[in-house]
Amino acid sequence: MEVPCIDLAAGYLELKPELDEAVERVLASGSYVLSENVDAFEAEFAGWLGAAAAAAVGSGTDAIYLTLRALEIGAGDEVITVSHTAVNTAMAVLKAGATPVFVDIDPETLGMDPRLLEAAVTDSTRAIMPVHLYGHPVDMDPVVKLADDYGLAVIEDCAQAHGAFYRGRAAGTIGKAGCFSFYPTKNLGACGDGGSVVTNDPDLAARIRSLANCGQGGEGRERRRNVFRGDVSRLDELQAAILRVKLRRLSQQVRRRREIAAFYRRELTGAAVALPVEKDWARHSYHLYVIRSKERDRLKRHLAAAGVEALVHYPVPAHRQPAYAGLARAPLPETEAAATEVLSLPVFPQLTKTQLDRVAAAVGSLGQTEPGSP
Ligand SMILES: *Cc1c(COP(=O)(O)O)cnc(C)c1O
């Protein structure tokens, strides 16, 4: 494809000297886990978001799972979230032993619809987990208000929201904890798996660090004293060193994503597709640039024929996956509709003007090349 949906190697080449040096330094140091790069990355990432603490872990899924464990949310408990998301959201809740309860999404932002939360609360509800999907924040004020009214924890799934803001506050710093992923494709991506919890509660961060490291407790990563039945989910030094280099470019790269989104908005206004919204209270981080079309599959083929790779995030909602069937308690019509209509256009910082023009021309010419199609 002339225009891939994402090009991770281009991201590497842009920072090659610094990344190579950082990796070589770790290799030569002989310290590969729980050392200076992880400590420094935690401080730098928390600082970048304006949060008190970060606890680096092995993946975004584990950031959610370990947050739930640290808050003692597990068997018999319910966590309200959405089904239109990466399946990892529900998977992490189930891994903690709790039950995900799905509410439908707002058709405009494609994120959790806060108006539906109250009806989903039961005696077993312990937390609400909004997902800032694609990089557009969920409308958090009503979520936090309802959570306060019912004594629930708010845990933000920020896997796609590095650099997103809600009413001037960084996504991930609004609830009890923000759970980030550094899966390679994310706005801040490692060269492998990684994740972090961010919180203004340093004790929560310490419990998560302990749980991620075999449940070993005490100050300064004290070893051989197991205060929790923990897990093994550490961010390693190589990934932390890579992430530190990339974090220094993250603000600039999110700005570039926003420039690309602005270009698409200018060029595609008037095309036969629905463009993503950015509410006036939101700063979208454009992890994905998701358009909607009732002829999504035809559009995807049309783009492919023009050399443009577009992907579907996500074609099958969590509650329709065989492994998670039976989890939906109420109909989720907006979730079902989104799954048939969403299409992600290429958006990554290294896209060239030529590539962007090609995407715009390809989307704009739908219908002209296949006049006879339905
Ligand atoms: C990527 C992602 C996760 C999981 O992150 P991993 O690092 O892949 O475990 C969770 N939620 C959402 C919305 C994601 O996009």
Q: Within a domain: residue 357? A: yes
- Percent of the chain surpassing pLDDT 90: 91
Q: Within a domain: residue 205? A: yes
196, 227, 244: which is the final residue of a domain? 244
373 has pLDDT over 50: no
Distance between CA atoms of residues 267 and 323, nearest Å: 41
Q: What is the pLDDT of residue 110?
A: 97
Residue to mutate (ligand 1; options 94, 110, 181; most atoms within 8 A of CB): 181
Same domain, 254 and 208: no
Residue to mutate (ligand 1; options 129, 160, 288; most atoms within 8 A of CB): 160
Q: How far is CA 259 from the centre of its chain?
A: 20
Same domain, 210 and 351: no
Distance between CA atoms of residues 144 and 175, nearest Å: 7
SS3 percent helix, strand, coil of the chain, rounded to 5, is 40, 15, 40
Q: What is the pLDDT of residue 372?
A: 44
Same domain, 240 and 258: no
What's the gap in Å between 160 CA and the centre of ligand 1? 8
Residue to mutate (ligand 1; options 93, 112, 157, 162; most atoms within 8 A of CB): 157
Nearest atom of ligand 1 to the alpha carbon of 194: 7
Nearest atom of ligand 1 to the alpha carbon of 183: 7
Report pLDDT digits (tens) over 278-336: 999 999 999 999 999 999 999 999 999 999 999 999 999 999 999 998 899 999 999 99
| Most confidently modeled range among 102-111, 210-219, 318-327, 360-369 | 102-111
Query: CATH number, domain at 74?
Result: 3.40.640.10
When pLDDT is averaged across residues 260-265 and rounded to a whole number, the result is 98
Same domain, 240 and 298: no
Residue 220, judged by CB atoms within 10 A of its CB (0-12, 13-18, 19+), counts as exposed
* AA letter at 188: L
Q: What is the pLDDT of residue 143?
A: 98
When pLDDT is averaged across residues 342-350 and rounded to a whole number, the result is 98
Per-residue DSSP letter, 136: P
Q: Within a domain: residue 25? A: yes
Q: Within a domain: residue 369? A: no
- Percent of the chain surpassing pLDDT 70: 96
Q: What is the pLDDT of residue 271?
A: 92
Return phi, psi of residue 80, to 5°.
-85, 125
Dihedral over Cα of 85, 312, 317, 272: its sign? positive
Q: Within a domain: residue 50? A: yes
When pLDDT is averaged across residues 127-133 and rounded to a whole number, the result is 98
Report pLDDT digits (tens) over 176-235: 999 999 999 999 999 999 999 999 999 999 999 999 999 987 555 566 788 888 999 999
Query: CATH number, domain at 279?
Result: 3.90.1150.10
Report DSSP letters for 227-291, one per residue.
SS---B-PPBHHHHHHHHHHHHHHHHHHHHHHHHHHHHHHHHTTSSSBPPP--TTEE---SSEEE
What's the gap in Å between 95 CA and the centre of ligand 1? 14
Record the pTM: 0.96
Nearest atom of ligand 1 to the alpha carbon of 181: 7
Cis previous bond, 166, omega within 30: no
Same domain, 23 and 115: yes
Q: Whose CA is nearest to atom 2 of ligand 1?
A: 159
Same domain, 94 and 206: yes
Separation in Å, CA 21 to CA 150, 179, 249, 368? 50, 29, 16, 50
Overall number of domains in the chain: 2
174 has pLDDT over 70: yes
> Are the CB atoms for 194 and 169 separated by under 8 Å?
no
What's the gap in Å between 202 CA and the centre of ligand 1? 23
Cis previous bond, 183, omega within 30: no
The tokens for 263 are 């270009």
Q: Within a domain: residue 234? A: yes
- Residue 302 structural domain: 250-364
Return phi, psi of residue 180, to 5°.
-110, 150
Report DSSP letters for 152-196, one per residue.
-EEEEE-TT-TT-EETTEETTSSSSEEEEE--TTSSS--SS--EE
* Ligand 1 residue neighbourhood (C-beta within 6 Å): 59-61, 85-86, 88-89, 131, 157, 159-160, 181, 183, 193, 195
The pLDDT confidence band at residue 82, using thresholds 50, 70 and 90, is: very high
Q: What is the pLDDT of residue 217?
A: 78
What's the gap in Å between 64 CA and the centre of ligand 1? 9
* AA letter at 314: Y
What's the gap in Å between 311 CA and the centre of ligand 1? 17
When pLDDT is averaged across residues 329-345 and rounded to a whole number, the result is 97
Q: What is the pLDDT of residue 219?
A: 56
When pLDDT is averaged across residues 347-370 and rounded to a whole number, the result is 89
> Are the CB atoms for 224 and 202 separated by under 8 Å?
no
209, 244, 279: which is the final residue of a domain? 244
Q: Within a domain: residue 202? A: yes
Residue with tokens 């799972």: 65
Residue among 200, 237, 247, 214 at smallest CA distance from 45: 247
Q: What is the pLDDT of residue 264?
A: 98
Separation in Å, CA 163 to CA 153, 159, 228? 23, 11, 33
Q: What is the pLDDT of residue 1?
A: 85
Same domain, 343 and 206: no
Looking only at the bridges linking them, the beta strands covering 289-292 and 342-345 are: antiparallel
What's the gap in Å between 188 CA and the centre of ligand 1? 12
Distance between CA atoms of residues 14 and 12, nearest Å: 5
Report pLDDT digits (tens) over 6-30: 999 999 999 999 999 999 999 999 9
3-state secondary structure of 306: coil
When pLDDT is averaged across residues 99-128 and rounded to a whole number, the result is 98
Write down the mean pLDDT value for the chain. Answer: 95
3-state secondary structure of 108: coil
370 has pLDDT over 50: no
The tokens for 96 are 């903690």
